[in-house]
Structure 1
Amino acid sequence: MTSTRPALRDFYENPSAPVASGTPRTLRQTRILAAALTGTRRATVLDVGCGDGSAAAITARRLPGHHLIGVDWSQNALRRAAIRVPEVVRGELTDHGLPFRDSAADAVLLSEVIEHLVDPDTALDELRRVLRPGGHLMLSTPNLAAWYNRALLLAGVQPVFSEVSLRAIHGRPGTEVVGHLRLYTRRALCAFVAAAGFEIVRVTGAPFHGVPRPLRPLDRVACAAPSLASILLLHARKT
């Protein structure tokens, strides 16, 4: 049996692979983080899986006085991120794969990363290691149970965000292969993160930039009910 790891590395090192988060979810996530860091002086914030740095740059501008570091495993992504983010480092979500000491960070951003991971359990263990006690985890991921996915499944259509191949789209709407290996509902995500030693603070929703324009008002309305929203935004604290 061949390993999926080399194929995934090739996929994410490809310059055409999507590596940036959508602006609406970045702004929502940053507002939640900024509120969480109120009263914290010069917090160290790690954007793990920073991609090309576009989301990290938006976050850094809205967190003045704090120290944001972009982290990614892709050398190609880091070269692009270095143009936008003052500090970038290479790291992986493996056991001690992040180049930081225990309890070094006040907050970690994990934006649209967990759905790409072969081993999300070890990833959360590693994030918990580098977070200080009470430190903040800001995680975002596509929602398997988004309002349109429920309708698609009833019609026997593969859900949006799900993948059956790294080479082409098969059986679902969309035109872009994004490399998703697993998807979460709100309930599953909360249970998974809590089991890794985090206290769930809040889950909110965010819109998806890929929703067809006529349906975007409905997608924004769905954000009021996170279990139906396109994107899940989870805020948790290390216990």
Structure 2
Amino acid sequence: MTTTAPPPRDLRDFYEDPSVPVASGAPRSLRQARMLAAALGPVSGRPCTVLDIGCGDGTAAATAAPLLAGHRLIGVDWSQDALRRARTRLPDTVRGELTGGGLPFGAGSADAVLFSEVVEHLVDPDAALDEIRRVLRPGGHLMLSTPNLAAWYNRGLLLAGVQPVFSEVSLRAIHGRPGSEVVGHLRLYTARALREFVAASGFTVVELKGAPFHGVPGALRPLDRLACARPSLASILLLHARKT
């Protein structure tokens, strides 16, 4: 199936387009929030500062907020359109970038970072993790989620010669894979690759879990939920790491 859209001038133009999806499914957001809430523990004394970097329209952070009650949750994005929408859901939002010290926070000023469905969109993910590591305090938590290149259905699609779900060859149209939305993915990770990448960036990987994908057809969703028991087969990878 092929869908067409007006060609973006560049990546920034693409992500400022209001029609480009900037939110992910609630099941992933809830699972990730539970992982972070367990890591932070109950509020005792000073509230923790949690940055949702690449917050999009704020849906994921708003979903996580009840589980992080008492902590300060700040939405961060460089897309002005996304921030405009996020301000309807989050009390604190700021504009920031992930390269060249572009996050408007001091070194070691954050206790945790939510980094949900962002790394697959980046030209330079190494610089992004360097910047996240800069703003995290020693021992601070990184909660990263990203689609799994080796999801159970992608393995079958590749065997059949079909482009995997989540992968894209164009910012203008869908070519050779299931789905109807162009979402701008530039990089995809397997569970093993994600672990190695995060560890090489100065973090200690604490845990890796799987989460379902909201775009899986209804009849296949029970199987998708079962696959979460083995992160290497799950649709979405949820990684918890700490700054070393």
TM range (shorter): over 0.9
The whole-number CA distance in structure 2 between the counterparts of 1:59 and 1:102 is 25
Distance 2:47 2:100 in 1: 27
Are residues 1:23 and 2:26 paired? yes
Which stretch of structure 1 is more off in the superposition, 37-46 or 146-155?
37-46
Instruction: Work out which of the residue numbers 206, 214, 219 in structure 2 matches 1:209.
Output: 214
* 1:32 aligns to 2:35 (yes or no): yes
Q: Which string of whole-angstrom CA distances, capped at 9 and with x for unpartnered residues, describes residues 5-57 of structure 1? A: 96110111000000012100000000000000015541000000000001111
Cα distance in 1, alignment partners of residues 145 and 59 from structure 2: 16
In the alignment, which residue of structure 2 is the partner of 1:9? Answer: 12
**Mapping of residues 1-239 of structure 1, within 5 Å:** 7-39=10-42, 41-239=46-244
SS at match of 1:202: strand
The AA in structure 1 aligned to 2:33 is T
Percentage of identical aligned residues: 77
> Following TM superposition, by how much is the alpha carbon of 1:68 offset from its aligned partner in structure 2, in angstroms?
0.3
Q: Structure 2 stretches of 5 or more lacking a match? A: 1-7
1:61 Cα deviation from its structure 2 partner: 2.0
Residue identity in the other structure for 1:48: I
Deviations 1:168-208 (A, max 9, x none): 00000000001000100000000000000000000000000
TM-score, normalisation: structure 2? 0.95
SS in 1 for 2:10: helix
| Cα distance in structure 2, aligned partners of 1:222 and 1:36 | 24
Question: Distance between the aligned counterparts of 2:119 and 2:241, measured in 1?
Answer: 15
TM-score in terms of structure 1 length: 0.97
CA root-mean-square deviation = 1.0
**Aligned equivalents of 1:172, 1:80: Cα separation in 2:** 30
- SS of corresponding position for 1:89: strand
Secondary structure at the aligned position of 2:63 is classed as: helix
Q: Give the CA deviation at 1:62.
A: 1.7
AA aligned to 2:63 is: I
Q: Secondary structure at the match of 2:221?
A: helix
Output the CA distance in 1 between the equivalents of 2:9 and 2:108: 31
Q: In terms of mean alpha carbon deviation, does 31-40 or 149-158 score higher?
A: 31-40
1:95 Cα deviation from its structure 2 partner: 1.8
Per-residue deviation, residues 41-96 of structure 1 (Å, max 9, x unmatched): 41000000000001111111221100000000100000000010000000011020
Structure 1: distance between partners of 2:195 and 2:153: 21
* Secondary structure of the structure 2 residue equivalent to 1:62: helix
* Distance in structure 2 (CA, Å) of the matches to 1:237 and 1:39: 18
| Total equivalences in the alignment | 235
Higher relative contact order (CA 8 A, sep 6+): 2
SS of aligned partner of 2:187: coil
1:47 is paired with a residue whose SS is: strand
Paired with 1:84 and 1:232, the residues of 2 have a C-alpha distance of 25
